[in-house]
Amino acid sequence: MSDPAEGTVGLHVEDGIARLHLDRPAKLNAFTLAMLARLEDHLDALERSEDVRVVIVTSAGERVFSAGADIHHFRRLTALQMWSTWTRTGHRVFDRLARLRQPTIAAMDGDAFGGGLEIALACDLRVLADDAQVGLTEVAIGTVPGWGGLDRLPALVGPARAKRMVFTGTPIDAATALDWGLVTDVAPRADVVDAALALAAVVADRSPLAVQMSKQAIDAGAGLGLGMALEGLASAASGASDDFSEGVTAFRHKRTPAFTGSLGTPGPRTAHLDD
């Protein structure tokens, strides 16, 4: 059983839409290592799921989406532990979220600072409360964003604006975040989750394969996971070819394959593979 003081991350799936729920409202949903571990477990399950088409990140409470990393937790760590455990774990988990094959939406119904903004930056789309503020505020406590913010924020708002946010540690309001392209949608605080669910429902109604391949192609075009995207598309194309069917059949029957270079014939090929 999880320790309530450490917080947790819940997972709920309904109608093809998964909700990852940050649940530590007493501490403004500030991240602990326990929460990161739970989030990583859920991402493993989502990656394997054939039913989930869209993932939404929500949070408990009414004031703040997430205040970021729990300062009281990481201030007890040595410099080596900060590098080997805290920073590396958060970076790994948020990268895993960013690489999730399903599209992701952050439903930010409150302020998001530090790691709270960084988890939103790791999502594909962001819906923000119209009275909320967001910022990477780490310089105010003598450190730097460590969970992908220094990479993902400039990609969204440009280097100069990212530097302004990071150098000053000053949050920006929702109107500015929308104007700069940091968020994709703005809604009244009470309507943020519903707005994210409505957007998710539209995406979930589209072809999941086309959506997921589009996500991978867009990310690859931005320089994210280019090798993985090319290998995935090449594997999918070769896997649909007659040569692949022939190669598998020849392997099973211990004979030399007779490759033709054909890209494949229309219709199901399962029976041929099972010969």
Q: In whole angstroms, give the CA distance from residue 83 to residue 89.
A: 9
Measured from the Cβ of residue 5, the count of other Cβ atoms closer than 10 Å reads: 10
Spot the catalytic one: 6, 40, 138, 246: 138
**Active-site residue flag, 231:** no
**Active-site residue flag, 118:** yes
What are the distances in angstroms from CA 166 to CA 47, 123, 137, 161, 275? 32, 20, 7, 9, 61
The two structure tokens encoding residue 224: 């994210």
Spot the catalytic one: 47, 50, 118, 246: 118
The two structure tokens encoding residue 72: 């009281």
Query: What positions carry a catalytic annotation?
Result: 118, 138
